[in-house]
A and B are shown apart, each in its own frame.
Chain A
Amino acid sequence: MLFTAHEIRETVDMFLRHKLDVRAITLGVSLRDCASPSGSESRRRVRDKLLRVAGRLVETGRAIEEEFGVPIINKRVSVTPISLVAEASDDDDFAPWADTLDAVARELGIDFVGGFSALVEKGMTSGDERLIASIPRALERTERVCSSINLGTTKNGINMDAVRRMGAVIKETAEATRDRDGIGCAKLVVFCNAPGDNPFMAGAFHGPGEGEAALSVGVSGPGVIKAACEQYRGAPIDVLADGIKKTAFKITRMGQLVGQEAARRLGVPFGILDLSLAPTPAVGDSVARILEEMGLESAGAPGTTAALALLTDMVKKGGVMASTSVGGLSGAFIPVSEDEGMVAAVRAGSITLEKLEAMTCVCSVGLDMIAIPGEVSAETISGIIADEMAIGMVNNKTTAVRLIPVPGKVAGEWAEFGGLLGGTPIMPVNAFSCASFIGRGGRFPPPIHSFRN
């Protein structure tokens, strides 16, 4: 036999027992040629282009699933930040662009479209301002559109005016989707150092430096990594690290195979492979449970940040060895509502918002899918965002914030978002004010180590 019984069993177990999957194939499409002084004309061009370029995405994904026996959970599209496309128009309200993206996604069976976005790390154009003002309306009336705003970079510093503005926009978005526990905010993320080739939602967009189109692939598999860790109980950390790296290598190779095949069949270049341990609310698909398997009683216990640092780094190293196209975020995500183990840790009182913030220094993204009381002020949300942006800027890493201030609910109550977004107890937030700090606005200068040229 070409493969040993052990090899075959290992691979089959990864998919059948440990829920390994390709979380998403994401087709990035440039919409820069769709700008027009007429909003309706621009949206017509957007629609025509997406139908043309992404028309076969879903059927191609399904065919590969069938043929290869590898589940592909989501078929997604990311587009040029809409602020760049729509700002040539005279329209004040950009929500109709979100309507267009939503309608095309429904028509093509695409799960999510990312890119109702703006990159404002250094300043805002009129298009950026109109897009940001349109976010609450856009997310209230669409289902499949995701929005992201880049507020800072290590090179440019942090746009504190935009940080202040986004605190209020998050509150408005929650209010606009009040009847569904503020679910609009689950489709809205703010970034520092946002990658322009990330295939994961809510932060996917097709960066301005990208080509006409590219197919990227997001591979997940917390269950597989946990199963690998189970083989190294009691072993020294370096032995455990090596075990994680080997498994990350194998699942990256599988992802690369699927991504390259999808790109070839769609006739577009292969973009990047993002190996990110992305949990789902299903039992056996949790990042928190990996940390616990490494030796913690509950996620959030002392040692959690160290365990997560090891996990993220080994996933990246295994991935980089397996593929020359590793990009996006690659590492471990630590969303709360989407991770059964994390929700259990919140319930048990072992994890707090401050501990999660510390963990974001070493995870691959940031504060993610955290429900907070609806009464938390816009300034406090901006303060949390500023902290997270500072961590990303100073440490030269991607950080993000996706908070849901749940209207009418208080700490300890349950917020339910459904499906892959899950549900979570609402976490308390430090009640002391940062309003005067946030009220200053202005521009946060980049750190000294950004001057590398």
Chain B
Amino acid sequence: MNAIITVVGTDQVGIIAQVSGYLSGHRINIVDISQTILSGNFVMMMMVDLSASDIPVAEAKKDLAALGDRLGVSVSVMHERVFSAMHRI
């Protein structure tokens, strides 16, 4: 499955490095990535492919949330199909 990971918070050194390091450690492939400043916040969005992942999605979500807590940013993981349903007809 493809999921969209969103990281929102205050900009700092190493956010992308830490998140992508975690993902590569679990064979989660980054399909697409973009980063922007939206309403004064650092916003990073990634589309990732979990088909070769070595952990269940629930566990990845927990780990990424914990990583977000350490970095002081909020991390959400949602199925790509939720975004397709809402924004593509």
Contacts and interface: CB of A to CB of B under 8 A. Distances in A.
Contacts of A3: 4, 45, 83, 87
B78 A69 contact: yes
Contacts of A12: 6, 8, 76, 78
B73 interface: no
A254 B86 contact: yes
Contacts of A253: 85-86
Interface size class of B (residues with CB under 8 A): 20 to 34
Interface in A1-35: 1-3, 5-12, 15-16
Contacts of A10: 86
Interface in A58-113: 66-70
A256 interface: yes
Interface string B54-89: 001110010000000000001011111111011100
B38 interface: yes
Contacts of A7: 83, 86-87
Given A1-B32, A8-B6, A253-B85, A67 B47 contact: no
A69 B76 contact: yes
Contacts of A6: 38
A383 B38 CA distance: 55
Contact of A11 (B8, B74, B77, B78): B78
A6 B82 CA distance: 15
- Residue of A7, A68, A250 ringed by the most chain B CB atoms within 10 A: A68
Contacts, number: 76
B34 A11 contact: no
Contact of A254 (B1, B33, B43, B82): B82
Given A9-B38, A254-B86, A70 B43 contact: no
Nearest to B76: A12
Interface residues of A, number: 24
Contacts of A235: none
Contact of A8 (B1, B4, B61, B79): B4
B36 interface: yes
B61 A66 contact: yes
Given A8-B45, A9-B43, A69 B38 contact: no
A16 B41 CA distance: 15
A399 B30 CA distance: 51
Contact of B76 (A16, A67, A251, A254): A16
A66 B58 contact: yes
Contacts of B86: 7, 10-11, 250-251, 253-254
A239 interface: no
A283 interface: no
A282 interface: no
Given A8-B6, A67-B1, A69-B77, A254 B57 contact: no
A257 interface: yes
Interface of A: 1-3, 5-12, 15-16, 66-70, 250-251, 253-254, 256-257
- Nearest 10 pairs of A and B residues by beta carbon: A69-B78, A68-B79, A253-B85, A66-B58, A257-B85, A250-B86, A7-B87, A1-B34, A12-B6, A5-B36
Given A3-B4, A6-B38, 20 more contacts: A1-B45, A2-B80, A5-B43, A5-B45, A8-B4, A8-B6, A9-B6, A11-B83, A11-B86, A11-B87, A12-B6, A15-B78, A67-B1, A68-B79, A69-B78, A69-B82, A250-B86, A250-B87, A253-B85, A254-B82
13 contacts: A7-B86, A7-B87, A8-B83, A9-B6, A11-B82, A12-B8, A15-B76, A16-B74, A66-B57, A66-B58, A68-B82, A69-B3, A254-B86
